[in-house]
Every structure is written in structure tokens, then in C-alpha cells.
Structure 1
């Protein structure tokens, strides 16, 4: 695994930790306030973007391309795959 992919995986790990912490707090008596709900939504989007970037980088490398040519897609594009 190249350095860039490892950095993406490290970022994913950090985001998963943030997501887990927010989800755990959301089940408490007070739940999440508006800012925390917005943060959770932003973390979920960033996770989707990171996983998308990592998969596309790996595919590019597998087929002989330069993974460094792959850029993060806009959230709207990543979030609307099914649409």
C-alpha cells in the first residue's frame, strides 16, 4: 500500500472514531444538539468520500494508471450514487 492510501485509511480511522463517539452520545438522555447532528452528517459524508477515493485509487493502480491522478469527488456526487 502506498503512502497516500495509508494516509486515507488513517483519516478513515479517525473519522470512524468521531462517528462512533457521536453515535454513542446520540443514544444518551440528551441526544445530540443541532451542531453535533450537523457534525455527524459531515463526518458521514467525509467517510463516503474517503472510501470512494480509496476504491478509485486502488482501481486506477490495478489497471496500470496513476492513482495520484484520482481526486476526491464532490459530496453531492458521492452521496447520489443511487440516484
Structure 2
């Protein structure tokens, strides 16, 4: 996955987030459903931003961002979300 692919996914997730909020405002979703789906989107967004930052850091260091196995993939939610714990 290259930078353009990652940015496209981020834009998709942001659009989905906006649609969820609009549906909640129109009372098409319960608060619980909106919250549950937004949590999943936030994790997916965090994973994409993490991948983008890692790619950019490798490029800045003069390295190939996809050189090592797994470098071009999102990390598991627990790894991305749990870094402050």
C-alpha cells in the first residue's frame, strides 16, 4: 500500500464518520450504534495514520518504506491504540 492508497482510505473513513454523525442527527441510528461504529472507525483511522507516519519516517531516513515484511501493513489495534499504556 503506498501513500496515496493510505490517504484514500483515510478520506473514506472520514467520509463514513461524517455520514454516521448525519444519520444520528436524523435519528436513523441510536446513540449506542453511532458510538460503537465510530469507535471502530477511530481505530481504523489511527491504524492508517500510524502506517502513514511510519512510511514517511522511513522515507525521510532514506529507507524503502516497504523493504521489510509487514512494514507496509497496518499494525494490530492493540499495538496502535495501546502505545500510551
Question: How many residues are treated as equivalent by the alignment?
Answer: 81
1:23 alignment partner in structure 2: 21
Contact (CA 8 Å) 2:21, 2:34: kept in 1 or not?
Answer: no
More helix by share: 1
Contact (CA 8 Å) 1:25, 1:32: kept in 2 or not?
Answer: no
- Structure 2 residue matching 1:67: 3-state secondary structure: coil
- Structure 1 residue matching 2:2: 3-state secondary structure: helix
Q: Partners of 1:79 and 1:27 in 2: how far apart?
A: 28
What 5-or-longer segments of structure 1 have no aligned partner? Answer: none
Runs ≥4 residues deviating over 6 A: none
Q: CA RMSD in A?
A: 2.1
Contact (CA 8 Å) 1:12, 1:47: kept in 2 or not?
Answer: yes
- TM, length-normalised to structure 2: 0.78
Q: Partners of 2:12 and 2:44 in 1: how far apart?
A: 11
Q: Partners of 2:61 and 2:9 in 1: how far apart?
A: 25
What 5-or-longer segments of structure 2 have no aligned partner? Answer: none
Q: Partners of 2:5 and 2:29 in 1: how far apart?
A: 32
- TM, length-normalised to structure 1: 0.80
Q: Of residues 70, 73, 82 in structure 1, which corresponds to 2:75? A: 73
